[in-house]
Amino acid sequence: DEFIVIVTGSSVDRLESIINDIQQIFVRPWFLKGEDYYCTISAGVAFFPTDARTVEDVIRRADIALFNAKKEGKNRIEFYNEAIDGTSTKRLDLEKYMRKATMNECDEFTVYFQPIINVKGEDVCAGAEALVRWNSATMGFINPVDFIPLAEYLGLINPIGEHVLREAAKHCRYWNDMGHPDYKVNVNLSVVQLLQNDIVKKIKGIIDEVGIEPGNLCLEVTESLAINDMVRMKRILSEIKALGVKVALDDFGTGYSNFHYLSELHPDIVKIDRGFTSKAITDKKEYYLLNQFSNMIHNLGLKLCIEGIETEDELQKMKLLKPDYCQGFYWGRSCPYDEFRKHFVD
């Protein structure tokens, strides 16, 4: 799904209108098997010889600009310039070391755990969300927001995500064996992983290999795929649920938050994004909105998890919405497995 357009020197004064023509093609939907499909376009532009002097370098620079265009919110055209060059050398290092790390069995990627609390009765730990960290030998400790977008762009999220899933399932199996048979582990699944043809087989393979109870595994997905291809998203999620695995819709309250998705995709759990939670804590209207969302989520028979709770006061406010689960710094930050074990397992 990537193409290179070469604009020759004699046409370069028409560059703007050429770019505009290409963008116009994507304004209208494509009609396929009775339905409209929308497709966005992102592009990066680099100039020869001002930006780079070899074919490889021109392509690389255009690719850096393209990555920036996608990072800034997709559906954009970005020109390569000196300003992104500073970040681009870092980007090239990140890419180089990330490729290396994934070839070394992903052992630089560690999984942290953040407790998820069941708040239906007394507050008790119900398990944890697995959150990846990259402990790079050359670049140091890197948080997911700083490398997941690039990992998705390069397709490296597939081996990394598989590694996280395996590690998370192994630890959960251990907690289950150590006197907490109902503890569940939530694992984030990128849309890039969801689009792999063999994703369901991969998940099943890891469940069998680790011996975790499928019902103790919960995969967190976002609605992004549904926006473009609801049919496909529904099919994949139902295949995942057929394994006995739970599905959570993550980041609800950001982006589209369409109720149509909730009834169509029918996840087991809906997770309210912490951005929404913090707005609802300070803003009455946002709180009212969240209250309506919560009612509808419950009426659809889905469970509700509120993320980003940091204080007792916030917890009391959010408990009025009758969530099933809560998560946040109030109970604990994400931590290495031995620390999680000390506080919530032993």
Of the two residues 144 and 267, which places its CB atom closer to ligand C2E in the complex? 144
- Which string of x and - marks every residue 226-265 that binds Ca ion (by CB under 5 A)? ------------------------x---------------
Report which of 267, 75, 275 is spatially closest to residue 189, judged by C-alpha positions: 267
Partner residues linked to 248 by β-bridges:
220, 269
Query: Which residue stretch of 63-71, 230-238, 260-268, 321-329 sits at the interface with ligand C2E (rule: CB under 6 A)?
Result: 321-329
Report which of 248, 270, 269 is spatially closest to residue 257, judged by C-alpha positions: 270
| Pairwise CA distance, residues 58 & 195, whole Å | 30
Report CA-CA distances (Å) from 75 to 29, 195, 198, 261: 14, 20, 28, 22
Q: And the tokens for 179?
A: 């006197």
Report CA-CA distances (Å) from 308 to 137, 145, 222, 286: 31, 16, 17, 15
* Residue 131 touches ligand C2E, criterion: CB under 6 A: yes
Q: How many CA atoms lie within 13 A of 11 on its CB side?
A: 9
Q: How many residues bind ligand C2E (CB under 6 A)?
A: 23
Can you spell out the DSSP letters for 147-198? THHHHHHHTTHHHHHHHHHHHHHHHHHHHHHTT-TT-EEEEE--HHHHTSTT
Shortest distance (Å) from residue 302 CB to ligand C2E: 18
Shortest distance (Å) from residue 203 CB to ligand C2E: 14
Of all residues in the shown chain, the one whose CB is closest to ligand C2E is 328
* Residue 145 touches ligand C2E, criterion: CB under 6 A: yes
User: Do 336 and 166 contact (CB within 8 A), yes or no?
Assistant: no
Of the two residues 135 and 143, which places its CB atom closer to ligand C2E in the complex? 143
* Residue 250 touches ligand C2E, criterion: CB under 6 A: yes
Member of 62, 98, 164, 290 binding ligand C2E (CB under 6 A): 164
Name the binder of 328 from ligand C2E, Ca ion, none, CB < 5-8 A by kind.
ligand C2E
Q: Which parts of this chain interact with ligand C2E (CB under 6 A)? A: 114, 131-132, 143-145, 148, 157, 161, 164, 188, 190, 250-251, 274, 307-310, 327-329, 334
Q: Which parts of this chain interact with Ca ion (CB under 5 A)? A: 188, 220, 250
